[in-house]
Amino acid sequence: MARHIDILENPETAIAEATTTLAEGLPIGLPTETVYGLAADATNPAAIARIYETKGRPRFNPLICHMSDLAMAERYAVFDPISRKLAEAFWPGPLTLVLPLRPESGIHPLATAGLDTVGIRVPQGFAGALIRAFDRPLAAPSANTSGKISATSADHVDDDLGERISLILDAGASVVGVESTIVKVEDGEIRLLRPGGLAASEIERVAGKALKRKKKASAAIEAPGMLASHYAPGAAVRLDATDISANEALIRFGTPDIAGIERAIAVLDLSPSGDLSEAAANLFDFMKRADASGAVTIAFSHIPDEGLGEAINDRLRRAAAPRE
């Protein structure tokens, strides 16, 4: 088991222990509003290598580098006017901007997979304060074994990675519950690289223009969060279920009619009132619970593809994809 420090009860201890551990080049479990991150010093190659080792990630992929604020981000990346406008509107928050890296930025190529761009986000709350204290960017993918369900609580992190890391900061359940939305501005166009915890419509409202969405077929190349099979529970996953068979657990949204619901091993309600934010916050925890119920298959009722539903459905399609 890793050591847990509750950030509300002991914020000073949390900052002191976390900065010491990070300075030793070790990754920590870090709460953010999206999901829990496995965070390490983005300027230290040994520390970044330990992220990959801890997650059992097979390949080096670009990691999101977390900053304390826009001013810090500008030290590492070059902002075009649209990216700056989005940063001012949505940071701190669940938006990652892919930007040209400044030469000599100090971010190690292991964190960017050798690209000349860097994905940057300013997280809300404690993580931002920790980065300010550490004064170096933190590379942080989600704190889970590669390909598995993302962690949205300190206990999730401990169950999965507790044997491999020494410190987990505990801030309770992640309020957003899905990873950040990733965009990249190119030639004045805003490309949506990954739907996430900030609805695309919010970005379009601030930018005053529509996002360019990637064609599904080419998505796999650009991003690990875009591998076909990802977010996978042990059980199989079935989408748009309207009925339930033996040995299935049901995760439903709203109050749809589901035939044979009495057969379900477990029934979990993402949001009885049909609130997509509430559903996103519950998603990964409920997938883990349905998995633990012993169900052979987890059936999901239909979830609308609007607002945060776009991110939820993106994760569910990957969870349902054929496993490698």
Interacting residues with ligand AMP (CB under 6 A): 61-64, 98, 112, 115, 117-119, 141-142, 179, 182, 193-194, 222-226
- In the complex with ligand AMP, the residue whose CB is nearer, 131 or 193, is 193
CB 174 within 8 Å of CB 280 = no
- In the complex with ligand AMP, the residue whose CB is nearer, 51 or 299, is 51
CA distance 315 to 324: 16
CA distance 301 to 170: 32
Q: Considering only 6-14, 135-143, 181-189, 249-257, which stretch makes contact with Mg ion by CB under 5 A?
A: 135-143
Residue 203 contact, options ligand AMP, Mg ion, none, Cβ 5-8 Å cut-off depending on partner type = none
Q: Considering only 51-59, 89-97, 138-146, 181-189, which stretch makes contact with Mg ion by CB under 5 A?
A: 138-146
Least distance to ligand AMP from the beta carbon of 91, Å? Answer: 16
Distances 323 to 21, 123, 233, 254 between C-alpha atoms, Å: 35, 31, 10, 29
Residue 193 contact, options Mg ion, ligand AMP, none, Cβ 5-8 Å cut-off depending on partner type = ligand AMP
CA distance 309 to 240: 13
Q: Tell me which of 21, 96, 142, 181 binds Mg ion, using CB under 5 A.
A: 142
In the window 30-69, what residues touch Mg ion (CB under 5 A)?
none
Residue 117 contact, options Mg ion, ligand AMP, none, Cβ 5-8 Å cut-off depending on partner type = ligand AMP
- In the complex with Mg ion, the residue whose CB is nearer, 142 or 301, is 142
Residue 272 corresponds to which tokens in the numbers above? 């009885």
Q: Please identify the residue of the shown chain whose CB is closest to the bound Mg ion.
A: 142
- Report whether the peptide linkage leading into residue 141 is cis, meaning its omega lies within 30 degrees of zero: no
- In the complex with Mg ion, the residue whose CB is nearer, 10 or 145, is 145
- In the complex with ligand AMP, the residue whose CB is nearer, 142 or 297, is 142
CA distance 140 to 66: 7
CB 83 within 8 Å of CB 133 = no
Residue 73 contact, options ligand AMP, Mg ion, none, Cβ 5-8 Å cut-off depending on partner type = none
CA distance 104 to 100: 12
- In the complex with ligand AMP, the residue whose CB is nearer, 117 or 145, is 117
Residue 7 contact, options Mg ion, ligand AMP, none, Cβ 5-8 Å cut-off depending on partner type = none
- In the complex with ligand AMP, the residue whose CB is nearer, 116 or 262, is 116
Residue 270 contact, options Mg ion, ligand AMP, none, Cβ 5-8 Å cut-off depending on partner type = none
Q: Which residues bind to Mg ion, rule: CB under 5 A?
A: 142
